[in-house]
């Protein structure tokens, strides 16, 4: 059901005296979004929480000047024929805060939304409804020169929500024969959004959208028992092998990376900019309200050397909070609490402004990051996927990383947010509940916020004398050309502090009779393995990465003998999660996969489960077994 909030505008006139030291001023002008023309007689409502502090209107030349005590305020601008616009501001003692409001024209949909002229009797009754009888009498006795009011009454009407969620099509990786395709090259992916999104579907008793299931993100949601890095590299490399559970005639290979765990004292100061979508689509409880709770976890974990700015965007973008040190948590928290949803979604303008603020407060040698929180439904300004990606690619040159947090359902744009995070040297997560928010900004805070290695690429060369064919499970939208591996200009994935990254290959051994390719034999070159026959190696794994503040990559090479491969609980549990993903996608490669085998293997090899995430996984599998029959 949709409800419009009761709003009363009282016209107050009067000049402001010189600003006393204990107060500050809010000044600015109001213009029309489309034409930039000055708008006069705009009603201005200043509030702290639910308390109305002051109500006024701007001057004929569009400007306003309001005297206020120090603190956070919510300022709403209203004018007949235009959508209401609300801004959050912080007033400092003895200072003037500039706020230029931009209003967009709208077409009234109901009679209740039209501006109406009332006499003083009707006005008094409206004040009574809004502020109580005593307040109304006070205004009346004061002789306030009130002549007009704009009122939007509460009403209920049927509301039909249309599902416009957007997901990129995933065409699963197929088997490639090693003779013609010996190299497999891809970018690492530490994103975990897909797992939380799948959980959202299942907990609502819905089968997940097929293309919402990115198997590598399901696997990477969990930590694995990989060793800490050594030899000066920021991450370790672990390789394991096992029989493929859903096709015993094949083998399974695991390549696992473990980012270095750093303690809080080793993390450099952070310059963070919260970029928050406060458009009308963010109104529901699992969007802006949940978003504010999520950021509250982060704020409580800020250190004195960290600083935070808050930028919001709806019909236009604005700065709610200038960069503020982590010692002033109440001020940051208060600015978050004042945020309200309303208006259209100028995502491009918000991103531009957030990067500008991040650059102005840049910490050389520090951790500089924009954290975008949205449902992804951009519709004003730069809004196409291509436009936004190019914008983010340009902005990442400033050395500012990007994290994206997705919220909500119904109009959720997963495809857009994944592309933006990939373009912005960042990571992407979906917050479906308060526990996921606590996980992101509690136990995994610095893995979320601090990058230890960027542009991390993996290239595996298979020995055709040992392997006939291979298939990389997942990572479909992270595939790279073989030439990209040595190209330091090619963007790739990033690894955060303490993160683990896991990739699984399903392989068909060279002595198998299984046919894997329908391609005709090549006519002008040899296609039989010759020199490789003498090697004991099954494959060679190469990795490239850059330090966060460097542009030249470093190389790691691991040669793998089949006889030295072992199977631990890492590959056992990872294979259970991969099998679960294939069942959800109804993959053509699922073989003999079954929910019962996923549960059995996950139970047996969940190992250390400090936070209970693997136990929760088992519950999800049981839900899916019932829902996805």
pLDDT digits (tens, 9 = 90+) for 21-78: 578 889 999 999 888 899 998 989 888 876 788 888 899 899 999 988 877 788 888 8
On whether residue 1 sits in a domain, the answer given is: no
Rounded to whole angstroms, what are the CA distances from 318 to 106, 402, 408? Answer: 21, 19, 23
Higher pLDDT, 476 or 393: 476
Same domain membership, residue 84 and residue 222: no
Last residue of a domain, one of 84, 116, 141: 141
Range of the domain at 310: 264-449
- pLDDT for 201 equals 94
On whether residue 553 sits in a domain, the answer given is: yes
What's the pLDDT band for 81 if we cut at 50, 70, 90?
Answer: confident
Residue 331 contacts residue 321 (beta carbons within 8 Å): yes
Same domain membership, residue 577 and residue 472: yes
For the chain, give the percent of residues with pLDDT over 90: 53
pLDDT digits (tens, 9 = 90+) for 532-559: 557 889 999 999 999 988 889 999 999 9
Q: Is the pLDDT of residue 227 over 60?
A: yes
- Identify the CATH number of the domain in which residue 252 sits: 2.60.40.1230
Q: Is the pLDDT of residue 128 over 70?
A: no
Same domain membership, residue 182 and residue 57: no
- pLDDT for 108 equals 47
Same domain membership, residue 602 and residue 537: yes
On whether residue 606 sits in a domain, the answer given is: yes
- pLDDT for 416 equals 82
- pLDDT for 504 equals 98
Last residue of a domain, one of 449, 469, 485: 449
Backbone phi, psi, residue 400, to 5°: -105, 125
On whether residue 383 sits in a domain, the answer given is: yes
Give the 3-state secondary structure of residue 25.
strand
pLDDT digits (tens, 9 = 90+) for 328-385: 999 999 999 989 887 666 677 888 899 999 999 999 888 999 999 998 776 545 556 6
> E strands within 40-122?
43-48, 51-57, 63-69, 71-78, 85-91, 96-98, 101-103
Same domain membership, residue 236 and residue 275: no
- Identify the CATH number of the domain in which residue 306 sits: 3.40.50.410
On whether residue 151 sits in a domain, the answer given is: no
Same domain membership, residue 588 and residue 503: yes
Same domain membership, residue 130 and residue 181: no
Q: Is the pLDDT of residue 131 over 70?
A: no
Q: Among 466, 437, 77, 78, which Cα is nearest to 241's? A: 466
- pLDDT for 96 equals 82
- pLDDT for 269 equals 92
Q: What gap in Å lies between CA 197 and CA 207, rounded to an integer?
A: 11
Q: Is the pLDDT of residue 134 over 70?
A: no
- Identify the CATH number of the domain in which residue 70 sits: 2.60.40.1120
SS3 track for 367-401: EEEEEEEECCCCCCCCCCHHHHHHHHHHHHHHCCE
Same domain membership, residue 291 and residue 252: no
On whether residue 196 sits in a domain, the answer given is: no
Same domain membership, residue 289 and residue 365: yes
What's the pLDDT band for 116 if we cut at 50, 70, 90?
Answer: very low
Q: Among 71, 73, 81, 86, which Cα is nearest to 22's? A: 71
What's the pLDDT band for 220 if we cut at 50, 70, 90?
Answer: very high
Higher pLDDT, 140 or 209: 209
pLDDT digits (tens, 9 = 90+) for 513-527: 998 877 787 788 766
Higher pLDDT, 82 or 89: 82
What is the pLDDT averaged over residues 127-143? 34
On whether residue 435 sits in a domain, the answer given is: yes
Q: Is the pLDDT of residue 626 over 90?
A: yes
Number of domains the chain is built from: 3
Neighbours of 156 (CB within 10 A): 9
Same domain membership, residue 483 and residue 347: no
Q: Lowest-confidence range among 318-332, 387-401, 483-497?
A: 387-401
pLDDT digits (tens, 9 = 90+) for 158-167: 333 456 788 9
Residue 500 contacts residue 220 (beta carbons within 8 Å): yes
What's the pLDDT band for 499 if we cut at 50, 70, 90?
Answer: very high
Last residue of a domain, one of 427, 449, 471: 449
- pLDDT for 377 equals 73
Q: Is the pLDDT of residue 137 over 60?
A: no
- pLDDT for 384 equals 66
Q: What gap in Å lies between CA 55 and CA 16, rounded to an integer?
A: 14
- 381: tokens are 């300004």
What's the pLDDT band for 252 if we cut at 50, 70, 90?
Answer: very high
Same domain membership, residue 272 and residue 235: no
Same domain membership, residue 228 and residue 310: no
Q: Among 235, 181, 176, which Cα is nearest to 461's? A: 181
Q: Is the pLDDT of residue 149 over 70?
A: no
On whether residue 274 sits in a domain, the answer given is: yes
Q: Among 94, 87, 103, 100, which Cα is nearest to 335's? A: 87
Backbone phi, psi, residue 44, to 5°: -120, 120
- pLDDT for 21 equals 56
Q: What gap in Å lies between CA 170 and CA 211, rounded to an integer?
A: 6
**What is the average pLDDT value for the chain, to the nearest integer?**
83
- pLDDT for 457 equals 97
Q: Among 196, 199, 614, 165, which Cα is nearest to 431's? A: 196
Q: Is the pLDDT of residue 151 over 70?
A: no
What is the pLDDT averaged over residues 466-478? 96
Q: Is the pLDDT of residue 609 over 70?
A: yes
Q: Lowest-confidence range among 240-249, 408-417, 534-543?
A: 408-417
What's the pLDDT band for 605 if we cut at 50, 70, 90?
Answer: very high
What's the pLDDT band for 114 if we cut at 50, 70, 90?
Answer: very low
What is the pLDDT averaged over residues 266-290? 91
Q: Is the pLDDT of residue 2 over 50?
A: no
């Amino acid at each position: 059901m949709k409800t419009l909030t009761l709003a009363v505008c009282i016209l107050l006139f009067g000049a402001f005296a010189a600003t006393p030291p204990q107060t500050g001023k809010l000044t600015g002008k109001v213009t029309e979004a489309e034409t930039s023309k000055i708008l006069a007689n705009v009603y201005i409502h200043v509030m702290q929480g639910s308390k109305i502090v002051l109500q006024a209107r701007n001057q004929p030349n569009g400007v306003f000047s309001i005297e206020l005590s120090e603190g956070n305020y919510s300022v709403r601008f209203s004018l007949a024929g235009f959508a209401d616009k609300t801004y959050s501001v912080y007033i400092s003692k003895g200072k003037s805060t500039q706020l230029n409001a931009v209003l967009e024209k709208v077409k009234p949909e109901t009679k209740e939304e039209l501006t109406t002229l009332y006499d003083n009797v009707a006005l008094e009754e409206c004040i009574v409804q809004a502020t109580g009888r005593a307040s109304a009498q006070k205004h009346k006795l004061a002789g306030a020169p009130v002549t007009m009011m704009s009122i939007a009454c509460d009403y209920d009407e049927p509301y039909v929500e249309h599902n416009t969620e957007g997901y990129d099509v995933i065409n699963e990786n197929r088997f490639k024969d090693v003779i013609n395709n010996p190299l497999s090259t891809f970018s690492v992916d530490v994103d975990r959004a897909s797992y939380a999104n799948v959980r959202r579907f299942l907990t609502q008793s819905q089968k997940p959208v097929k293309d919402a299931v990115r198997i590598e993100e399901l696997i990477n949601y969990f930590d694995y028992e990989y060793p800490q890095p050594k030899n000066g590299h920021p991450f370790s490399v672990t390789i394991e092998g096992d029989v493929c559970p859903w096709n015993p005639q094949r083998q399974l290979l695991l390549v696992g990376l473990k980012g270095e765990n750093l303690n809080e004292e080793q993390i450099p100061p952070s310059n963070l900019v919260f970029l928050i979508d406060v458009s009308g689509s963010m109104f529901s409880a699992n969007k802006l309200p949940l978003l504010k709770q999520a950021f509250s976890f982060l704020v409580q974990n800020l250190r004195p050397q960290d600083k935070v700015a808050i930028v919001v965007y709806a019909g236009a973008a604005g700065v709610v909070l200038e960069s503020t040190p982590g010692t002033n948590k109440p001020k940051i928290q208060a600015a978050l609490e004042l945020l309200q949803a309303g208006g259209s979604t100028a995502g491009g303008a918000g991103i531009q402004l957030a990067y500008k603020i991040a650059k102005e407060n840049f910490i050389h040698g520090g951790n500089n990051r924009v954290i975008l929180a949205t449902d992804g439904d951009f519709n004003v300004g730069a809004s196409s996927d291509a436009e936004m990606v190019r914008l983010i690619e340009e902005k990442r040159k400033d050395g500012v990383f990007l994290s994206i947090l997705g919220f909500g359902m119904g109009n959720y744009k997963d495809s857009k947010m994944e592309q933006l995070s990939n373009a912005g040297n960042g990571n992407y997560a979906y917050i479906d509940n308060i526990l996921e928010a606590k996980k992101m900004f509690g136990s995994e805070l610095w893995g979320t916020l601090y990058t230890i290695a960027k542009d991390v690429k993996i290239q595996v060369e298979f020995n055709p004398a040992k392997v006939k064919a291979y298939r990389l499970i997942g990572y479909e939208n992270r595939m790279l050309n073989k030439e990209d591996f040595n190209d330091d200009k090619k963007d790739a994935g990033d690894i955060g502090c303490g993160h683990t990254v896991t990739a699984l290959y399903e392989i068909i051994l060279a002595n198998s009779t299984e046919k894997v390719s329908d391609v005709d034999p090549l006519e002008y070159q040899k296609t039989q393995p010759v020199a490789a026959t003498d090697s004991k190696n099954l494959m060679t794994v190469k990795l490239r990465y850059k330090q966060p503040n460097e542009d030249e990559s470093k190389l790691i090479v691991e040669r793998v003998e089949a006889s030295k491969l072992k199977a631990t609980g890492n590959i056992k549990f990872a294979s259970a999660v991969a099998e679960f993903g294939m069942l959800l996608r109804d993959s053509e490669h699922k073989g003999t996969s079954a929910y019962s085998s996923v549960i059995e293997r996950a139970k047996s090899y969940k190992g250390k489960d400090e936070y209970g995430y693997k136990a929760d996984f088992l519950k999800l599998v049981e839900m899916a077994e019932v829902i996805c029959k």
